[in-house]
Amino acid sequence: MTTLEPSDKALVPFVSVDHMMKLIHHIGVEQMMTGISDYIESDFKRWELFDKTPRVASHSEKGVIELMPTSDGDVYGFKYVNGHPSNTKDGLQTVTAFGLLADVATGYPVLLTEMTILTALRTAATSALVARLLAPKGAHVMAMIGNGAQSEFQSLAMKAIAGIDEVRLYDIDKAATAKCAANLAGSGLKVVACETAEEAMLGAQIITTCTADKQYATILTDNMIGSGVHINAIGGDCPGKTELAPAILHRSEIFVEYPEQTRIEGEIQQLDPDHAVTEIWQVLTGQAKGRSDDKQITLFDSVGFAIEDFSALRYVRDQIEETGLFHPLDLLADPDDPRDLFGMLQRAK
Amino acid sequence: MTTLEPSDKALVPFVSVDHMMKLIHHIGVEQMMTGISDYIESDFKRWELFDKTPRVASHSEKGVIELMPTSDGDVYGFKYVNGHPSNTKDGLQTVTAFGLLADVATGYPVLLTEMTILTALRTAATSALVARLLAPKGAHVMAMIGNGAQSEFQSLAMKAIAGIDEVRLYDIDKAATAKCAANLAGSGLKVVACETAEEAMLGAQIITTCTADKQYATILTDNMIGSGVHINAIGGDCPGKTELAPAILHRSEIFVEYPEQTRIEGEIQQLDPDHAVTEIWQVLTGQAKGRSDDKQITLFDSVGFAIEDFSALRYVRDQIEETGLFHPLDLLADPDDPRDLFGMLQRAK
């Protein structure tokens, strides 16, 4: 039988930006980050199952375009993501992304989705999962250095997952701080806009740095950091892009996602390639120790890893069927007789 | 000003399977392959400009999923493609694909398109471009061994680009040959269905092999190949998958797309890693010699390279504006204030 309508197999569920926003509001942003964090935790606990590779990066003067693939043997996922710090001055996002899941057994895609917003959620979910694991007991105040697109998500994920009730905001651009504070009004967080990074860190047990310059920057200097804190360093995430003074790294117990990638992209690109680091998945499975005492400085040198995107994609896939928040996209040619691609084309004339 | 409608920058032109088929019929399949072949030739001639890397493959027992990125410094492109030989028995395509172009300066995607059909066109366009370059003078008969999804495209591209007027078909499955012959009826090609591979090769100056088993296979044995032919070997395209007896390789002058990738995936995976090969782009630019005499056996050990997809994507991008054969896809979150992703999300509530 010849049909010109795409078959079920040809149609890939597509989650647009509009559908993603509807999905987030349907579930609730904090609830969704908590859900994604649970998926990340469960995937990190089966870390050894995954195909892992540093992301495939194409660098230019203006920024980077990356592909981040991984697979657990049953499902394959990848994310396309760019990082262009100079985009904001042209009214564009620094980071945009989309992602895909496919069935390993057939190679057929099963989900295509926007990931600009979803990446913000999964990054914050990862930060908060790790902060819950490593921050000092009773941590409830976070300094948020850098109040750009990621800052509200970080704040709310830390509230929902890591028990934070106060965020202290600082950005070199006061308008960014005002925007973040306004967006967090009514969230249940105590929000304090600060004039300096030092002021933001007053009384904070968790210090999150999330700035976007593609250059070696020193957002935190050594004398700014006391003992007994957890540093969540997100902004150092590509070669030549760091935020912390090396002296801080030497005083810290350093935790990373995937050392092979972090040594290229993270804060530890400033250290010897054999400097000891602990992998988060090993702390989650009990194979490695997390924080050992209240005085320690723990540092999560976060660059973002493909498995976190994979978890977020899995989470979205598990939500959309019930909610119907997707379009079927005519992405795959699927002739009745798989050898007859040409015949399908001819019959469409 | 706050708007909930996606901005222009958020909308990525998407070419569905349906639109791709309409585009092909609008342009004509032979004309479109000729056009793509011109783009490939022009990109191969500026080969040294491109970021090149062997494709990033995720192998499983059933098949492979690959990402094929490249960039010329201004435009970035990649293709997602799977190869699952066992898919056909389940009524699925062995190969499905989609692809993307992005602006290197901003990282923003500018085209998303189906590439299952487009890959068939670009593969045939590449084969025919190389055959025109390397086949003996006056070549006009092609043996087509393997009459699956790629066979009609190969035949028509060889007609349009390399001067072929007769194709001689052979497949171990007679139904595949009958399908190919029926699809080529009225194309202007003389089509001869053959009982054996030997019969198909009678009088042929170009021999195309395109079979899909993921295993070392010997589709052509040494004694089947006389002198003065051009072999266009397409089916050997991943580790463990070859079609030609090693003795043929030793008698041939071997031409490849990108040696780093072909030595892993092509027929020459059977040879020493330092066996001499010539790169097609060097023949096109005059830096290397093509066929040196009429008696020579030239072999194009084709595995498919990212630049060919890039050329095909560029070609499609250049056609769709005028024809309108695309949908604007709401793929990118693009808030008015790029730092205010969260605010955009809140306002959508």
Residues A319, B287: Cα–Cα separation, whole Å: 56
Q: DSSP string of A126-175?
A: HHHHHHHHHSPTT--EEEEE--STTHHHHHHHHHHHH---EEEEE-SSHH
Residues B332, B329: Cα–Cα separation, whole Å: 8
Beta-carbon contacts of B347 under 8 Å, excluding residues fewer than 6 positions away, are B2, B4
The whole-chain average pLDDT of chain B stands at 92
Nearest to B330 among A18, A82, A83 (CB): A18
CA atoms A318, A319, A320, A321: torsion sign: positive
CA atoms B23, B26, B28, B32: torsion sign: negative
pLDDT digits (tens, 9 = 90+) for A281-311: 999 999 999 999 999 999 999 999 999 999 9
Which tokens belong to A269?
């690109």
Side-chain-side CA neighbours of B334 within 13 Å: the count stands at 20
Residues A10, A191: Cα–Cα separation, whole Å: 48
Which residues 164-203 in chain B show a CB within 8 A of chain A? 176, 179-180, 182-183
- Nearest CA to B130 out of B344, B288, B237, B320 is that of B288
Residue A89 near chain B (CB below 8 Å)? no
Position A349 in a domain: no
Confidence of residue B223 (pLDDT cuts 50, 70, 90): confident
CB contact under 8 Å between B56 and A67, yes or no, is: yes
Position A297 in a domain: yes
Residue A339 near chain B (CB below 8 Å)? yes
CA distance A274 to chain B (A): 27
Nearest to A338 among B22, B64, B88 (CB): B88
Residues B60, B69: Cα–Cα separation, whole Å: 21
- Nearest CA to A182 out of A216, A228, A151, A137 is that of A151
Q: Are residues B40 and B187 in the same domain?
A: no
* pLDDT score at B302: 95
Residue A90 near chain B (CB below 8 Å)? yes
The whole-chain average pLDDT of chain A stands at 92
- Decide if pLDDT at A1 tops 50: no
CB contact under 8 Å between B107 and A329, yes or no, is: no
Q: Are residues A263 and A145 in the same domain?
A: yes
- If one counts the domains in chain A, the total is 2
| More confidently predicted of A184 and A339 | A184
pLDDT digits (tens, 9 = 90+) for A97-156: 999 999 999 999 999 999 999 999 999 999 999 999 999 999 999 999 999 999 999 999
CB contact under 8 Å between A341 and B65, yes or no, is: no
Mean pLDDT value of segment A78-102: 91
Q: Which CATH number covers residue A205?
A: 3.40.50.720
- Decide if pLDDT at B219 tops 90: no
CA atoms A184, A185, A186, A192: torsion sign: positive
**ipTM score assigned to the predicted complex:** 0.90
pLDDT digits (tens, 9 = 90+) for B62-111: 999 999 999 999 999 999 999 998 898 888 888 899 999 999 999 999 99
Query: Can you tell me which residue has the tokens 């293709």?
Result: B79
Q: How far is CA A322 from CA A10, A32, B301, in A?
A: 21, 15, 48
Position A3 in a domain: no
Question: Where does residue A97 fall: left (phi above 0), alpha (psi -120 to 50 degrees), or beta otherwise?
Answer: beta
Q: Which residues pair with A279 in a beta bridge?
A: A256
- Decide if pLDDT at A231 tops 70: yes
Other CB atoms within 10 A of residue A54 CB: 18
User: Are the beta carbons of B242 and B217 closer than 8 angstroms?
Assistant: yes
Confidence of residue B239 (pLDDT cuts 50, 70, 90): confident
* pLDDT score at B238: 73
Amino acid sitting at position B206: I
Q: Nearest chain A Cα to B81, which residue?
A: A107
Q: How far is CA A252 from CA A249, A260, A295, B239, in A?
A: 5, 19, 11, 45
Confidence of residue A5 (pLDDT cuts 50, 70, 90): low
* pLDDT score at B334: 82
Q: Catalytic residue at A18?
A: no
Which tokens belong to B255?
């031409």
Is residue A27 packed enough to be buried (19+ CB in 10 Å), middle (13-18) or exposed (0-12)? middle
Q: Which CATH number covers residue A62?
A: 3.30.1780.10
Q: Are residues A217 and A152 in the same domain?
A: yes
Which tokens belong to A85?
């710090």
A43-47, B91-95, B239-243, B319-323, range with greatest mean pLDDT: A43-47
Q: Nearest chain A Cα to B179, which residue?
A: A340
The b/e string for B265-302 (b: 16+ C-beta within 10 A; e otherwise) is bbbbbebeeeeebbbbbebbeeeeebbeeeebbbbbbb
Which tokens belong to B342?
């969260």
Q: Are residues B300 and B311 in the same domain?
A: no
* pLDDT score at B214: 59
Is residue A186 packed enough to be buried (19+ CB in 10 Å), middle (13-18) or exposed (0-12)? exposed
Position B204 in a domain: yes
Which tokens belong to B250?
């030793």
* pLDDT score at B337: 84
Other CB atoms within 10 A of residue A278 CB: 18
Listed as own residue / partner, the contacts of A246-251 with beta carbons closer than 8 Å and 24 or more positions apart are: A246/A270, A246/A271, A247/A221, A247/A222, A248/A220, A248/A221, A248/A222, A248/A297, A248/A299, A249/A275, A249/A299, A251/A222, A251/A225, A251/A297
Query: Can you tell me which residue has the tokens 């109040």?
Result: A147
The separation between CA A274 and the C-alpha centre of its own chain, rounded to angstroms, equals 26
Q: Are residues A174 and A228 in the same domain?
A: yes
Packing angle, helices A306-323 and A17-27, rounded to 10: 80
Other CB atoms within 10 A of residue A160 CB: 21
* pLDDT score at A225: 87
Position B1 in a domain: no
pLDDT digits (tens, 9 = 90+) for B109-123: 999 999 999 999 999
* pLDDT score at A327: 95
Q: Nearest chain B Cα to A329, which residue?
A: B16
Q: Are residues A153 and A264 in the same domain?
A: yes
Q: Are residues A172 and A277 in the same domain?
A: yes
CB contact under 8 Å between B82 and A107, yes or no, is: yes
Q: How far is CA B139 from CA B163, B205, B231, B275, B292, in A?
A: 7, 5, 12, 28, 15
Confidence of residue A4 (pLDDT cuts 50, 70, 90): very low
Amino acid sitting at position A147: N
* pLDDT score at A337: 85
Q: DSSP string of A99-125?
A: EEEEETTT--EEEEEE-HHHHHHHHHH
Vertex A185, ends A180 and A189: CA angle to 5°? 95
Q: Which residues pair with A112 in a beta bridge?
A: A14, A100
Q: Nearest chain B Cα to A87, which residue?
A: B106
CB contact under 8 Å between A82 and B108, yes or no, is: yes
Classify A215 as helix, strand or coil.
coil
Position A348 in a domain: no
Q: Nearest chain B Cα to A148, which residue?
A: B339
Q: How far is CA A235 from CA A96, B127, B338, in A?
A: 15, 46, 17
Chain A residues closer than 8 Å to B176 by CB: 339
Q: Are residues B164 and B268 in the same domain?
A: yes
Is residue A272 packed enough to be buried (19+ CB in 10 Å), middle (13-18) or exposed (0-12)? exposed
* pLDDT score at A236: 67
Quick one: DSSP state of residue B169? E
Other CB atoms within 10 A of residue B51 CB: 18
Position B122 in a domain: no
Residue A93 near chain B (CB below 8 Å)? yes
CA distance B297 to chain A (A): 30
* pLDDT score at A215: 67
- Decide if pLDDT at B5 tops 70: no
Q: Are residues A155 and A264 in the same domain?
A: yes
- Decide if pLDDT at B4 tops 60: no
CB contact under 8 Å between B60 and A104, yes or no, is: yes
Confidence of residue B215 (pLDDT cuts 50, 70, 90): low
Q: DSSP string of A31-90?
A: HHHHHHHHHHHHHHTTGGGSB----EEEE-SS-EEEEEEEE-SSEEEEEEEEE-GGGGGG
Mean pLDDT value of segment A205-220: 82
Which residues 13-72 in chain B show a CB within 8 A of chain A? 14, 16-18, 20-22, 24-25, 29, 51, 53, 56, 58, 60, 62-65, 67, 69, 71
Q: Are residues B79 and B157 in the same domain?
A: no
Position B25 in a domain: yes
For an interface test with B, the pick among A58, A84, A167, A334 (most B C-beta atoms closer than 10 Å) comes out as: A58
Q: Are residues B332 and B257 in the same domain?
A: no
For an interface test with A, the pick among B1, B14, B16, B17 (most A C-beta atoms closer than 10 Å) comes out as: B17
* pLDDT score at A194: 97
pLDDT digits (tens, 9 = 90+) for B307-337: 999 999 999 999 998 999 999 999 998 888 8
Q: Which residues of B are catalytic?
A: 237
Q: Nearest chain B Cα to A177, which residue?
A: B339
Q: DSSP string of B42-68?
A: HHHTTGGGSB----EEEE-SS-EEEEE
Mean pLDDT value of segment A153-170: 98
- Nearest CA to A330 out of A6, A2, A15 is that of A6
- Decide if pLDDT at A273 tops 70: yes
- Decide if pLDDT at B191 tops 90: yes
- H helix or E strand, kind and range, residue A330: strand A327-330
Q: In what order do the strands lie in the sheet with A166-170?
A: A190-193, A166-170, A141-145, A206-209, A230-233, A297-301, A252-256, A278-279
Domain that residue B49 falls in: 8-117+307-347
Q: Are residues A334 and A281 in the same domain?
A: no
Nearest to A345 among B24, B87, B341 (CB): B24
* pLDDT score at A3: 39
Amino acid sitting at position B106: T
- Decide if pLDDT at A255 tops 70: yes
User: Are the beta carbons of B160 and B187 closer than 8 angstroms?
Assistant: no
Q: DSSP string of A305-328?
A: -HHHHHHHHHHHHHHHHHH---EE
- Decide if pLDDT at B294 tops 50: yes
